[in-house]
Amino acid sequence: MSHELRNIKLRNHVTVVMPCYNHAQFVERAVLSVVSQAYQDFDLVVIDDGSKDDSVQILKELQKEHGFTLITQENKGVCKTLNRAIREAASGEYIALLASDDFWHEDKLKLQMESLGRHPESEFCFSQAIEFMDETNPSNGRLFPKKCLSGHVLNSVFLRQHVPAGSMLFSRRLYDQLGGFDENLKEEDWDFVIRSAAATSFCAVNKPLLYYRSHATNTMKTRKRSSIFHQKVKILAKNFDLVSPFRWYFSVSIHFFYDLILKK
């Protein structure tokens, strides 16, 4: 296949990247929510990051039925895992991310690709999400953000991360331009959102297309608030030059109060 024909074939193609770590009880629903998407011009890459439960066995069975790409590795952490999957296995012009304990609305890719089509100046799309605990009725969970901001959102996202990570859909060109996810950070999604907002305008779907599962092993629930604040400061310091000094200090102050006083 010529390079020109390959570009035509992949013009609206999406690669969905799903990192998995010890989510044997959740990963099947995550995978099924991808393969049942109304928008079918995609491929799925699942990368297991050294799970110690039955995740890999379950994924191998699902792979037989649905034919996605499965990569297994020793535990390396989420940033290295995402970068490896995208750099080694992603063939799409667009990249979408989904954690293996969450799942999507069936119209997720369809509505976001339509939004990107209406906003050719944008290389980044996201949506609202629902945080849920009740497996029997996830739609009754907490909606966030209350309203998606679009356009030039750098000043807003620098203050707080209001882009649900599992709703992100961005161009491969943008990913390559930014150099991927920073493997020196743990709050990889916020840093990537900030740098993306500095490079492109955002478009959004004001509808909950991601279902975010709240459970005891969520990263933000298992880490100390002091550690979370330290990571936030690293991100803000790294991106100091992108905003005014006032906004930088204001953001640091907000997170200091939230993490070390309010949530301590």
Distance CA 213, CA 235 (A): 25
For the segment 178-192, what is each residue's pLDDT rounded down to a tens digit? 999 999 997 789 999
User: Judging by beta carbons within 10 Å of its beta carbon (0-12, 13-18, 19+), is residue 1 exposed, middle or buried?
Assistant: exposed
Q: In the structure, what pLDDT confidence band is assigned to residue 90 with cuts at 50, 70 and 90? A: very high
- Indicate if the pLDDT at residue 81 is higher than 60: yes
Kindly report the CA angle at 166 between 160 and 167, in degrees rounded to 5? 80
Number of domains in the chain: 2
Q: At 258, is the pLDDT very low, low, confident or very high (cuts 50, 70, 90)?
A: confident
pLDDT for 25: 95
Separation of alpha carbons 46 and 137, rounded Å: 26
pLDDT at 137: 85
- Reading the block at residue 259, the tokens are 């993490």
Q: What does the pLDDT read at residue 175? A: 98
The CATH number linked to 118 is 3.90.550.10
Instruction: Phi first, then psi: give them for residue 17, nearest 5 degrees.
Output: -110, 125
pLDDT at residue 188 in the model: 80
Of the residues 201, 216, 231, which one is the last residue of a structural domain?
A: 216
Whether residues 187 and 253 fall in one domain: no
Are 212 and 228 found together in one domain?
A: no
- Same domain? 210 vs 227: no
- Residue 243: left (phi > 0), alpha (psi -120 to 50), or beta? beta
The boundaries of the domain holding residue 248 are 223-264
Statement to judge: residues 207 and 230 lie in one domain:
no
Q: Could you tell me if 252 and 236 are in contact, meaning their C-beta atoms sit under 8 angstroms apart?
A: yes
CA–CA separation, 158 and 84 (whole Å): 27
- Other C-beta atoms within 10 Å of 69: how many? 17
C-alpha atoms less than 13 angstroms from C-alpha of 193 in its C-beta half-sphere? 27
Query: In this structure, are 204 and 232 located in the same domain?
Result: no
Asked if pLDDT for residue 97 goes beyond 80, the answer is yes
pLDDT digits (tens, 9 = 90+) for 227-243: 899 999 999 999 999 99
| Sequence-separated (6 or more) residues with CB below 8 Å from residue 91 | 10, 13, 15, 43
Q: Determine the angle formed by the axes of helices 27-35 and 55-66, rounding to 10 degrees.
A: 20
Helices (H), the chain: 3-9, 27-35, 55-66, 78-89, 108-118, 154-159, 172-178, 188-199, 219-222, 225-238, 245-257
What is residue 7's predicted lDDT score, i.e. its pLDDT? Answer: 40
Instruction: Looking at the structure, tell me whether residues 239 and 158 fall in a common domain.
Output: no
Q: Encode pLDDT of 5-56 as tens digits.
A: 334 344 589 999 999 999 999 999 999 999 999 999 999 999 999 999 999 9
For 118-166, the pLDDT digits (tens) are 999 999 999 999 999 878 788 888 999 999 999 999 999 999 999 999 9
Cα–Cα dist 152/248, whole Å: 17
* Shared-domain flag, residues 11 and 138: yes
211 with 230, same domain: the answer is no
Count of Cβ atoms closer than 10 Å to residue 64 Cβ: 8
- On whether both 55 and 183 belong to a single domain, the answer is yes
Q: Are residues 75 and 192 in the same domain?
A: yes
Give the model's pLDDT for residue 211. 97
Phi then psi for residue 140, to 5 deg, are -90, 10
- 60 and 112 in a single domain? The answer is yes
CB of 41 closer than 8 Å to CB of 11? no
Same domain, 210 and 230: no
